[in-house]
Chain A
Amino acid sequence: MAKTEKILTKNWGHINPLKIADYINVGGYGALKKFVSEMKPQTAIAEIVKSKLSGRGGAGFLTGEKLKIVAENASHEKYFICNLEESEPGTYKDRMIVDNDPHLLLEGVIIAALAVGAHKAYLYLNGNYHKQKEILETALEAARKKNFWGPGIMGSSYDLDIEIFSGAGAYICGEETALLNSIEGRRGEPRLRPPYPTETGLFGKPTCVNNAETIANIPWIILNSGKKYAKLGATCSPGMKLYILGGSVKKPGVVEAPTGLTIRELIDEIGGGVTLGKEFWFAQIGGASGHLVTEKELDTPLTFSRDCPIPLGSGSILVVDKSANIYDLILSWTEFFRRESCGKCVPCREGTFRLHEIVSRWQDGEISERDREALKDILWTLENTTFCPLGRFAATAMGDAVEKLKILCK
């Protein structure tokens, strides 16, 4: 694997995340300066479109297109939201970005918000990230003093107000419409789409919601051109990605690598291989809502493309060895989705509940004939009829466990 340039993690461990001077010394806020002095919002968005950067939260929608739709909207009031909810089990990449390089994220937020013409940006932070809130508050304060946000940014006519909005602990609020409801002071239930948030979002105004990792790529794209970014990683969804390795690997943690790597490369070359003395069983890609991958699928490259059999999702890779307690693992999925189902639609509210019941009854590897039949029905219902993707997520891993691992089959 060729060594490539780091975009997201280049400053990690080299600068003091609490000192803005450190970030400026390594060329930080250079992209903002370039944007304010040399670029028009349209040219900046054109660069991002050219980069083919796609949403890193899991859905993989093209970021440039999203920004363009909001930017082209004639409304005077627009919002920009950076999604730092990140409640997917096994995912903590956005927390690491804030911990190690908060100003990179802020610079991206400022550029993207100005490019779409928003005057107000929210950082929607996970309710459990208390330390990260303090880091962001310090960073915001420092950036404001330098006039990187606020009225008349760096002597230009751009205005931007940034506010941190702390969530209150709900997985579903990572879904963009649920997130909007949460800011509006309502239950974090998803809204019917269309209309998409890009047309009717926060308080009915056009809103651009982007994952933190996506936004952290933007300063680099502005400085180095979108064309250069499009050459990194896989051709269908280029760029760099933060992978979160966990479970039975020698070197767990967050690592930056290009998209399009195969799962085997990620585990063996980046994760250092499976822990000594353990035997690989399967891997779960993309957190609790992700697909399971067995030995024979390990050479599949991971991308955000819809043609990719295994979506990259949030980038979390959990390696499970043969000594793992599969009963606890499956129970943790169903328990998680039962607790986090928002209750808006019946298939998900009831489905996740019954799924958990069936799994709780499953002991010693055997379930009754009746439960097995019901399981099939529930999985189908979750897969096909729920209001938002959460229901489908709840069925993904379970479906794979039944199909690929032959669990809950006898």
Chain B
Amino acid sequence: MSLTVEKILLEFSPRAENILPAIRQISLVFGYVDEEKTGKIADYFSVTKTQIYETASFYDNINTEKQPPFVVRVCFSTHCALSDAKKIIAEIENILHIKLGDVNHPKFKLEMMSCVGRCGEGPVVMVNGKVYERVTVSSVYEMLEEYL
């Protein structure tokens, strides 16, 4: 039995405070919320499609476009920046043969992210939601090995 948008929506009662959790859940299960899914969510909550798209496109943790299988996100906020996050980014670029922000790679995407509240344990890297703390230039390869 596979999950469909409709089945996920039925877990939420159609009230305004469930809109964001529902979009988030659908984005998590399918990887992104496209126009078709946006329409279904809008119908379920009896709001306009625009409102759902507006909300979905605003938040960092919700995607409105199909993502490559592995999204590598490096924190570049104050504390991590001071502990050489720039060098980590350069090393990841080297290993994965991609550029920061490149959207055309079939397998990987590398982007910067905002603080995730682990400032004591920086630099922080997140691969598909899995968090790696105290990453060093020499430990980058080891971290990425399982995804290569």
Query: Which residues does A use to contact B, with CB under 8 Å?
Result: 86-92, 95, 126-129, 165-171, 182-188, 203, 244, 246-247, 252-253, 284, 287-288, 316, 318, 320, 324-325, 328-329, 331-333, 335-336, 339-340, 342
Contact = CB atoms under 8 A, between A and B. Distances in A.
A115 to B, nearest CB: 23
Contacts of A252: 120
Interface residues of B, number: 36
Nearest to B58: A187
14 contacts: A90-B79, A91-B119, A165-B20, A166-B24, A169-B114, A183-B16, A185-B17, A287-B78, A328-B82, A328-B85, A331-B81, A332-B76, A332-B77, A335-B76
Contact of B59 (A95, A170, A244, A325): A170
B59 A188 contact: yes
A253 to B, nearest CB: 6
Nearest to B83: A247
Given A168-B23, A203-B16, A247-B82, 11 more contacts: A128-B116, A165-B20, A168-B61, A244-B119, A247-B79, A318-B78, A336-B77, A336-B78, A336-B115, A339-B112, A339-B114
B51 interface: yes
Contact of A168 (B45, B60, B118, B120): B60
Given A90-B79, A127-B61, A253 B120 contact: yes
Nearest to A324: B82
A92 B118 contact: yes
Contact of A169 (B55, B61, B82, B84): B61
A329 B78 CA distance: 6
Nearest to B75: A89
A128 B17 CA distance: 19
A400 B55 CA distance: 35
Given A87-B114, A91-B117, A253-B120, A185 B79 contact: no
Contact of A170 (B17, B45, B58, B117): B58
Nearest to B124: A128
Q: Could you tell me the dominant secondary structure of chain B's interface residues?
A: helix
Contacts of B47: 185
B18 interface: yes
B78 A169 contact: no
B62 interface: yes
Contacts, number: 134
Contacts of A92: 117-120
Nearest to B118: A92
B76 A168 contact: no
Contacts of A87: 114-115, 117
B36 interface: no
Contacts of A95: 117
3 cross-chain pairs, A with B, having the tightest CB-CB distances, nearest first: A185-B19, A169-B60, A332-B81
Nearest to A335: B76
B58 A188 contact: yes
Contacts of B118: 92
Given A89-B78, A90-B79, A342-B58, A186 B120 contact: no
B42 to A, nearest CB: 11
Nearest to B15: A185
B78 A288 contact: yes
A167 B20 CA distance: 8
A169 B59 contact: yes
Interface string B47-68: 1000100110011111000000
Contacts of A329: 78, 81-82
A338 to B, nearest CB: 10
Given A244-B119, A340-B114, A333 B78 contact: yes
A90 B78 contact: yes
B54 A89 contact: no
Residue of A169, A325, A335 most packed against chain B (CB within 10 A): A169
A127 B21 CA distance: 10
Contacts of B80: 332
Residue of B58, B78, B86, B116 most packed against chain A (CB within 10 A): B78
Contact of A336 (B16, B19, B20, B114): B114
Given A165-B21, A246-B120, A187 B55 contact: yes
Contact of A183 (B17, B81, B119): B17
Residue of B62, B85, B116 most packed against chain A (CB within 10 A): B116
A247 B84 CA distance: 12
A186 B51 contact: yes
Contacts of B17: 165, 183-185
Contacts of A167: 59
B55 to A, nearest CB: 6
Contacts of B86: 325, 328
Contacts of B58: 170, 187-188, 342
A246 B119 contact: yes
Contact of B55 (A186, A320, A333, A340): A186
Nearest to B126: A128
